Structure 1
């Protein structure tokens, strides 16, 4: 999405097909030769604001370190640092910051409406570092990891197990854009993708020749290239049902689940709770690429920051 001269990443759906592909491929290029990119310092003289109102290990570190490795200066804002807390609107906050920052990376506590308000000005790029609805930069790291380890994104099959949370939303909106891919969702009843996201991802799949299937049980996915799960309790959220754990228990990824896809790699967006959504034997096993996936948050962040600055 572009407003005036600024590029924004508020949702994966904002990206054109070419932009999405470029960011995934660029993430792999940076992973392979980060030293050369760092020496070039393409963001020298730029300032990146990093505004997080929720906890973060990977995403906050990735964008802060990524900006600095690319030559930019960074300013960190915590949940109590900006005067949104005293009633200033998100739109006014965005207009003020746009006179001082080149890019704002923000993790909010609500919908993407606040991020779009930040982006309603022509100078400062805005990057969604996770909202309640979607985690777009996670999807970029995920596809970067798939491309690096599987050798392609097109034609890959991903079995996603667990809640249709903001990570699943972003994955569904991204993977279905690539021809021949399959996204096989195993989600507990009542905890699948939001209806509007499922409809949008289905449209993307129809246009690209991808396949999207939804199962409210643990229907296997023969031939999967990747088995992917996330923790059951998403950051900053609460489950509406008191007995939700009993509904999630069948959706644990263990050795038996991995045996159903003997050639599949294992991915997890982290943090993980061993013994809940995944067993230690899977997360720490030979087929797990979850910690390389975490490192690719840095490479994807660097690709996004480069892309945001590319039109100036």
Structure 2
């Protein structure tokens, strides 16, 4: 007598529950494959949308080379805010002979005895070159005081001297672009979680990253002080809201391109930054002060 819970497949008995489980697994696999295909198509379309701006960056670079103009772009912001990914897109098609990405490690014993800006000055561009700092001298304004890597006196000396240092760079012909990438606490946590679980991204997770969520308010306060004291007319900050990485990358390119008076490759391209993504340092400062007042934490 046949078992009602089994059927014959190729003359072999197969349990219905096993067959049903196989069906659901195949259905789930097919759905996951469709999702991956959609993600791949979306990723491709986003990368294609960047290409006209990457072509403009090549034209900009040619202008800098021709005029022997120096350019520095600072990429600052919270951990996992998308600085590295933006740098990779900005430089993807540029002439490698005329740009450098600088990401300095811990200072050596010798550097600790030098003028603070000295190690950065040695990395500054020659005529016709672009230098992109993946974190810069502004480590002393935010990270170092939070984690006790500098004294109060060293911090104060930096905050006093930094505007003059940058004014001198600009006065002598260097184009200086200061970008601060900003994410929400929730988005940063999501990206950290992804780094923990993705073997291709685990190398990005540092000890300081692990503490970033716990020290969120400290970073906010240090950012506020940095904007308040170093957002100047000659070297203003531009904040890039980077919860959406693609929009952040595209609009960072627009900001960079708008800072150089080169002849556009495609004048019909939209060079206007999205105001929901890009805000001036002055406006960001106003918004932070309003938030601090509302929360009862504003102290000056």
TM range (shorter): 0.3 to 0.5
- The structure having more radius of gyration, on CA atoms, is 2
Q: Comparing both structures, which one devotes a greater share of its residues to helix? A: 2
Q: TM-score, normalised by structure 2?
A: 0.32
